[in-house]
Amino acid sequence: MTTAVVRALGALAHETAHARTGPRCACPAPAVLADRADGTVVRCGSVVAKAHAAGTDTVALSARLALAAGPGLADVLLGPLPVPPTDDLAGRGAASPYLTELLGRPVTLWPYGEPVDPGDPDEAPWEATAVLLARLHRTGIGHAVPGQPPGPPAVPAMRPPVMDVPASPAMRGPAKAALAVARMRAARPGEPVTAPVLAAWSGLPPWARDETPAPAHRVRALCHGDLHLGQLVRHPAPHGPWLLIDVDDTGAGDPAWDLARPAAWYAAGLLPPEVWFRFLGAYRTAGGPAVRADGDPWPELDVAARALTVQTAALALAKSAAEDRAPDEVEQVMIDACARIAALPPELTAEHSS
C-alpha cells in the first residue's frame, strides 16, 4: 500500500463528500476498500476515490467515464462524480470532468454503494446481475449488433445508442487474460505447475488470447469486461437498486465474455447448477444477445469460459507464488480445470473456437 496515495485519496473523498453534504463534518476516518496493482480505493462517508494504475490509457478511461455518466445507462452503471474544481486539481492531466491525477495516477470519484455481502452467498444477486448484463448488451453502440451466434433469433429491441462504434474503446477481457498469463509466467518461470495452464491457453483461438480481433461473425455489443459479484453495489446505499461498477474494462466486444466467469465456475463445479441455470434463465428472459434464446448455450460461451478458467488459474498461481504458498483448494480446482481443458481432443475445442 502506498501511504501517500491513500492519504491523498482520503482527503479528496472527504473534500468531495463535504461539497455534497455541507460543511458539518461527522465523517469517520477514510477506509481503504481495495489496494491492488490495478487500483487503490478509499472511502470517506458517501464518496469513494479510486486511484487507477499508473500508465492507464486516460483517453480510453475518459470515454468509459462519459459512458457511465450519461443518462442512457443510468439503470445499469453507477455514474462517476465530477472532480471538485479546486486550484490544486484543476488542469492536472484531467481528460474529462470526471478524471484527475494525484501523485502520477489517474483518479476518479464515485458515490458509495452497498456491495454484495461475501458472507451470505445464498443472497448473491445472480438474477439481478443477469438482467443488468442483458440491458448493457442490448444497448446500442452506434448501430445494431452486426453478428449473431449460430442459432439464436434476431436480437430483441435494442436500447438507444449511447456511443458510436468508432469512438468506443474495446472491451478488455482478452487483454486481461493475456496479462494474467504473463504475470504467472513472470512469477513462476519454467515451473511445471504452470504447464496445464499454458497448455489450456495455447488451445484458445488467437482472438481470445488478445492476439487478433474477434471474428466478424461473433456478436459485438457493449460489455462490462470484468464481471464478478464484487462489481455490483446497491445505490443509493443500502437498499437502492443493484448497479454495475468499475468501467475500467468496459467497451465493445463479445458479450459472452461477461457470462464467462460464472460459466467457468459452473463448469469447474464451483457454482451450483441451480444457481447457474437461474442466472442463465434470467439473462435469456431479459433478452440478452450473448447466447441463443434456448437450448445449449455452450457454442457461444465455450471459448470465453475456457479463457476465464485460464485467467483465474494463472492469477491463482501468480498470487500464491508472491505469498510463498501452495494454491488453496479453490485455486487448485481452477488449475485442475485447465488440465482437463488441455486434455480435450483438438476437434472438440476447435468446434467452438471460431
Predicted confidence (pLDDT) per residue in 210-260, tens digit: 999 988 888 889 999 999 999 999 999 999 999 999 999 999 999 999 999
Measure the CA–CA gap between 250 and 28, rounded to whole angstroms.
32
DSSP letter at 96 equals B
Q: What is the mean pLDDT of the chain?
A: 87
- For the stretch 48-57, pLDDT in tens is 999 999 999 9
DSSP letter at 78 equals P
Is it the case that residue 150 has pLDDT exceeding 50? no
Is it the case that residue 342 has pLDDT exceeding 70? yes
Measure the CA–CA gap between 252 and 220, rounded to whole angstroms.
6
Confidence class for position 18, pLDDT limits 50, 70, 90: confident
Confidence class for position 40, pLDDT limits 50, 70, 90: very high
Per-residue pLDDT, averaged over 326-354, amounts to 84
User: Residues of the chain with pLDDT > 90: what percent?
Assistant: 73
Is it the case that residue 68 has pLDDT exceeding 90? yes
Is it the case that residue 84 has pLDDT exceeding 90? no
Measure the CA–CA gap between 326 and 316, rounded to whole angstroms.
10
Per-residue pLDDT, averaged over 141-169, amounts to 48
- For the stretch 174-203, pLDDT in tens is 999 999 999 999 999 999 999 999 999 999
Confidence class for position 143, pLDDT limits 50, 70, 90: very low
pLDDT value of residue 82? 95
**Which residue type sits at 168?**
S
Q: Following DSSP, what letter does each residue of 61-129 receive, concatenated?
A: HHHHHHHHHSGGGTTTBPPPBPPP--TTTTTSS-SBTTBEEETTEEEEEEE--EEP-TT-GGG--HHHH
Cell of 308: 476465464
CB 44 within 8 A of CB 15: no
Rounded (5°) CA angle 114-116-121: 155
β-sheet bridge partners, residue 35: 40
Alpha carbon 200 to its chain's center: 22
SS3 99: strand
Measure the CA–CA gap between 201 and 306, rounded to whole angstroms.
8
Cell of 266: 459452473
pLDDT value of residue 21? 56
pLDDT value of residue 167? 58
Higher pLDDT, 23 or 250: 250
Measure the CA–CA gap between 75 and 131, rounded to whole angstroms.
11
Is it the case that residue 99 has pLDDT exceeding 60? yes
Is it the case that residue 137 has pLDDT exceeding 90? yes
pLDDT value of residue 215? 87
Between the CA of residue 46 and those of 6, 67, 76, 114, 288, what are the distances in Å? 17, 22, 20, 11, 33
Asked if omega into 238 is within 30° of 0 (cis), the reply is yes
> Which single residue is written with the C-alpha cell 485467467?
311
pLDDT value of residue 352? 56
Confidence class for position 147, pLDDT limits 50, 70, 90: very low
pLDDT value of residue 188? 98
| Alpha helices in the chain, H assignment, sequence order | 3-21, 58-69, 126-137, 173-187, 195-202, 256-268, 273-285, 298-322, 329-342, 346-351
**Which residue type sits at 253?**
G
Between the CA of residue 293 and those of 21, 83, 127, 255, what are the distances in Å? 46, 42, 16, 14
Residues 6+ apart with CB under 8 A from 159: 72, 135, 138, 139, 140
Is it the case that residue 4 has pLDDT exceeding 60? yes
pLDDT value of residue 346? 74
Measure the CA–CA gap between 310 and 313, rounded to whole angstroms.
5
CB 225 within 8 A of CB 255: no
pLDDT value of residue 131? 97
Residues 6+ apart with CB under 8 A from 349: 203, 302, 306, 341
pLDDT value of residue 273? 97
Judging by DSSP bridges, how do beta strands 100-102 and 114-115 pair with one another?
A: unpaired
